[in-house]
Amino acid sequence: MDSAALADTATPEPVVVIGSPPPSGRDLDLLVRPAARETLAKTLQENEFHHRRGHVWVRFGDAGPEIVELISTDTLGLSPEQLDRLFAEAQPIDGYTSLLRPAAHHRLLLAARRVAGEGRIDAKRRRAATDPDDRAWRLAREIAPAWQAEQALAELGRGLRDEPPRSWRWRSTVARVERYRSGAVIAISGLDGSGKSTQVEALVETLTKLGYPTVTVWTSLVAHPSLGRVAAPLRALLGHRRHPDGVEELWPPAGEDEDRLTQIRESRPLLQFAWVTFVAATNAWWQARAVRPHLLRGRIVICDRYTLDSIVHLRYRYGEQHHYRAQRAMIRALSPRPLRAYLLDVPPDTARARRREYTLAQNELRARLYQEEYTGLEVKRLDGERAPDDLAREIALDVWSALCADRDDARPLAARVLLGGRRLLRRR
């Protein structure tokens, strides 16, 4: 049963859908009285919905997250008379018994408050404000004083005429900062063929539907072009081309590389140390440069490979017997700390069957290094052989819970914007 049908059958009294009505709405924003809120919260919990610090409930399914916001009528700050009028004049939604849609003039007032709080008018708000006719605008103006929304309604009218107040600029900035206080890094690591790309794509899709601005970043310890440019002149001097036999020996472990330049480097400890330090510094700089600009814009950065993969490859490529403490400390110090990090653990032969960049023996070595390193980096191990959808749901729930604990306010976004708009107007 979907969230709209579940809410319709569970609520003991009518509730008002203040966002897009079902089935067209991406999520369900319900304005509820206390009795209905308690009943709906219990019903949602019994039907695998989760909530963290607040009134946003989410159920993670194969088709993506279902979102329900239970917004208390207290957040509107209306008198009992106006609140009763809001519910009494609401209109039924086809196919539902308890779900109601606000009357046109109430939709205008709700849109005006939200626009005033956000400091902008998007396409969705514009449609909500242009659908009502002149009669709805007249009724909205009549009761706007009781809603403390006279100024908000006037600003909505100006916004529809593309004449927004100057104050909208700083209000929109404040609203963005309030919603997205800081960005966060989510790292997904593992052998090539462990399913990292699949889980990254699924997590990006889920977080985007939940309203988080999300981007994907890929950085590899050995893929930065500067490494090849530094080694190219020496390799050209030796007249040796890198690994002509193809991808089977793309990255052999330390001591097994037939590349002449690599053998020379490995035979000289100081040269080896200098090169490893340069590689680690380049990787740390690359990760910081790729991630930090997004964090400053409040985005969630999903990293396909991160610090764990860098350290594992450092030991794999330049000597597993060495721990390279200085180099790994450099990578960890310069790379932004992830809010959540996961190791998708699969057997070496499974990874080999899925991707053939490494031989089975090489995968066995790399898998052992992952096992040795992940616990010290606060990385959560997950069974990469589980069904991808089940794994995606577990990661999504864990990441969402962490984001809520790290930055979400106790009130849902819709309620905070509605209440925030009223407070802004009171101060004017």
Q: Is 121 left (phi over 0), alpha (psi -120 to 50) or beta?
A: beta
Preceding amide of 23 cis, omega within 30? yes
* pLDDT > 70 fraction of the chain, expressed in percent and rounded: 83
Residue 410 has pLDDT above 50, yes or no: no
Q: Which two tokens stand for residue 200?
A: 């990254």
Q: What is the mean pLDDT of the chain?
A: 83
Residue recorded with tokens 């709906």: 40
Tell whether the model's pLDDT for residue 303 goes beyond 90.
yes
pLDDT at 424: 41
Q: Which two tokens stand for residue 387?
A: 């069904």
Kindly report, residue by residue over 30-66, the tens digit of the pLDDT: 999 988 888 999 999 999 999 876 788 999 987 788 8
Choose between 227 and 152: higher pLDDT: 152
- Answer for the pair 347, 194: CB distance below 8 angstroms, yes or no: no
Q: Please report, to the nearest 10 degrees, the dihedral formed by the alpha carbons of residues 308, 312, 317, 323 taken in order.
A: 110
Distance CA 421, CA 365 (A): 58
Which range among 197-206, 254-263, 360-369 shows the weakest confidence by mean pLDDT? 254-263
CA–CA gap between residue 28 and residue 16 (Å, rounded): 10
The Cβ of residue 142 has, within 10 Å, a number of other Cβ atoms equal to: 10
How many Å apart are CA 234 and CA 78, to the nearest integer?
76
Strand partners, 16: 31, 100
Supply the pLDDT for residue 150: 92
Angular region, 250: left φ>0, alpha ψ -120 to 50, beta rest: alpha
Question: Do the beta carbons of residue 101 and residue 84 sit within 8 Å?
Answer: no
- Exposed / middle / buried, residue 375 (Cβ in 10 Å: 0-12, 13-18, 19+): exposed
Share of the chain residues as helix, strand and coil, in percent rounded to the nearest 5: 55, 15, 30
Query: What pLDDT does 236 receive?
Result: 53
The span from the CA of 65 to the CA of 28, in Å, is 12
Residue 422: the pLDDT is 42
Q: Which single residue is written with the structure tokens 């490529």? A: 317
pLDDT at 149 over 50: yes
User: How large is the average pLDDT for residues 285-297?
Assistant: 88
Coil/strand/helix, residue 427: helix
Q: Say yes or no to pLDDT of 180 above 60.
A: no
Give the model's confidence band at 207: pLDDT under 50 very low, under 70 low, under 90 confident, else very high: very high
Which burial class, exposed, middle or buried, applies to 292 when counting CB atoms under 10 A from its CB (0-12, 13-18, 19+)? middle
CA separation for the pair 145, 247 (Å, rounded): 72
C-alpha to C-alpha distance for 407 and 390, rounded to whole angstroms: 26
Q: CA-to-CA distance for 153 and 141, rounded, in angstroms? A: 7
Give the residue-averaged pLDDT of 262-270: 84
Domains and CATH numbers, the chain: 3-180+410-427 (no CATH), 184-385 (3.40.50.300)
The arithmetic mean of pLDDT across residues 132-142, rounded, is: 89
Between 274 and 235, name the one with better pLDDT: 274
* Most confidently predicted of 13-27, 244-258, 288-302, 341-355: 341-355
Report pLDDT for 172.
65
CA–CA separation, 375 vs 347, rounded Å?
18
Q: What are phi and psi of 382, to 5 degrees?
A: -130, 145
Tokens of 217: 């970043």
pLDDT higher for 227 or 45?
45
The full DSSP string for 328-374 is HHHHHHHSPPPSEEEEEE--HHHHHHH--SS-HHHHHHHHHHHHHHG
SS (H, E, C) 207-272: HHHCCCCEEEEECCCCCCHHHHHHHHHHHHHHCCCCCCCCHHHCCCCCCCCCCHHHHHHHCCHHHH
Interval 10-33 mean pLDDT = 85
Q: Quote the pLDDT of residue 263.
A: 81
Mean pLDDT, to the nearest integer, of 412-424? Answer: 44
C-alpha neighbours within 13 Å on the C-beta side of residue 99: 24
Highest mean pLDDT among 110-114, 134-138, 277-281, 368-372: 368-372
User: What is the pTM assigned to this prediction?
Assistant: 0.78
Structure tokens at 123: 């396409």
pLDDT(413) > 50: no
Please indicate whether residue 74 or residue 232 has the higher confidence score (pLDDT).
74
